Amino acid sequence: MSNKGENDNLPAAPGTHPEPVVIGTRQGMFGVSDGGDTSGYGGLVAPVLFPAAALRPYGGYFDEVADALERALVGGSALYAQAIERVVIDRGEMTVFVAREHLVGVARALRDDPSLRFEMCTGVSGVHYPHEAGRELHAVYHLRSITNGGRQIRLEVTCPDDDCHIPSIVAVYPANDWHERETWDMFGIEFDGHPALTRILMPDDWPGHPQRKDYPLGGIPVEYKGATIPPPDQRRSYN
């Protein structure tokens, strides 16, 4: 089990760990931000932060996992350095950023090595960061080891918007079939080697990928007696 102490769920205090990485700024919160905003949220400016790479020792079982992964990858440490971009330990959870070319090898090592044995992959989720040039689309895999006491690890793979291909790990974790279809449907990440990458949530001939940040909400104005209310993403912010 991950040993969650009382402070494990808090973000790092400034100065103790490497500072978070700023990948962009966020202007405003919700709704229209040009005129008519009475809530004040339209003037909000906030940085978009990512936790930085963690330093050894990671704590808990994360060190064991990192060492075992290094041993298990064919080729030893050299391949580990190529395959693993960075390891992030944040709020008591371990995220391993994997280079997309080595994803299948890392997944196979995590599944097969006796001291790792992450036999359960609960699916792949897509994330879209439009501010992060060159790494816009992320695919996040959550792995769980039942044999080794409920350990959890997260793999994160990035790809640029204009070349959004990630190798499919259906050969390693067959249950990812539909999850990868959903990620393709919603984000447009193409999984090379997937047996049948088709739309699963939207109709087969739907254009676009709805969960990207630049995809409009698609609402229609609603007509009441005496007034018409615009769709949610075009309304004033009321307070």
Partner 1 sequence: MGIEEKLPAGFLLTTVEQLAGYFRKSSVWPATFGLACCAIEMMAVGTPDYDIARFGMERFSATPRQADLMIVAGRVSQKMAPVVRQVYDQMPEPKWVISMGVCASSGGMFNNYAIVQGVDHIIPVDVYLPGCPPRPEMLLNAIITLHEQIQNTPLGVNRVAAAHAAEAAALAATPTHDMKGLLA
Helix (H, G, I), strand (E, B) or coil at 15: coil
Q: Which residue has the tokens 């959550």?
A: 142
Beta strands at 151-159 and 93-98: parallel, antiparallel or unpaired: parallel
Distance, in Å, from the CA atom of 1 to the CA atom of 63, rounded to the nearest integer, reads 14
Backbone phi, then psi, for 109, in 5-degree steps?
-65, -40
The residue from 93, 202, 236, 237 that contacts partner 1 (CB under 8 A) is 202
> Which two three-digit tokens encode residue 87?
């390891």
224 lies in the binding site for partner 1 (CB under 8 A) = yes
The residue from 1, 13, 45, 220 that contacts partner 1 (CB under 8 A) is 220
Name the helix (H) or strand (E) containing 50. strand 45-50
Whole-Å CA distances, 99 to 20, 56, 82, 156, 159:
21, 20, 7, 9, 9
Query: Which positions from 162 to 201 touch partner 1 by CB under 8 A, shown as an x/- string?
Result: ---------------------------------------x
Q: Which residues contact 15 (CB under 8 A, 6 or more apart)?
A: none
- Which parts of 17-56 interact with partner 1 (CB under 8 A)? none
Distance, in Å, from the CA atom of 146 to the CA atom of 98, rounded to the nearest integer, reads 22
Provide, rounded to whole angstroms, the least separation between the CB of residue 208 and partner 1.
9
212 lies in the binding site for partner 1 (CB under 8 A) = no
223 lies in the binding site for partner 1 (CB under 8 A) = yes
238 lies in the binding site for partner 1 (CB under 8 A) = no
Give 13 or 220: the residue with its C-beta nearer to partner 1. 220
> Which two three-digit tokens encode residue 236?
């004033």
203 lies in the binding site for partner 1 (CB under 8 A) = yes
Distance, in Å, from the CA atom of 17 to the CA atom of 47, rounded to the nearest integer, reads 18
The residue from 35, 227, 238, 239 that contacts partner 1 (CB under 8 A) is 227
Give 1 or 227: the residue with its C-beta nearer to partner 1. 227
Distance, in Å, from the CA atom of 219 to the CA atom of 229, rounded to the nearest integer, reads 11
- Site size toward partner 1 (CB under 8 A) is 20
Give 46 or 222: the residue with its C-beta nearer to partner 1. 222
Give 44 or 222: the residue with its C-beta nearer to partner 1. 222
The residue from 14, 35, 114, 226 that contacts partner 1 (CB under 8 A) is 226
231 lies in the binding site for partner 1 (CB under 8 A) = yes
Give 162 or 223: the residue with its C-beta nearer to partner 1. 223
**Does the CA dihedral 118-170-158-179 come out positive or negative?**
negative
10 lies in the binding site for partner 1 (CB under 8 A) = no
Q: Summarize as ranges the residues that interact with partner 1 (CB under 8 A).
A: 201-203, 206, 210, 215-220, 222-228, 231-232
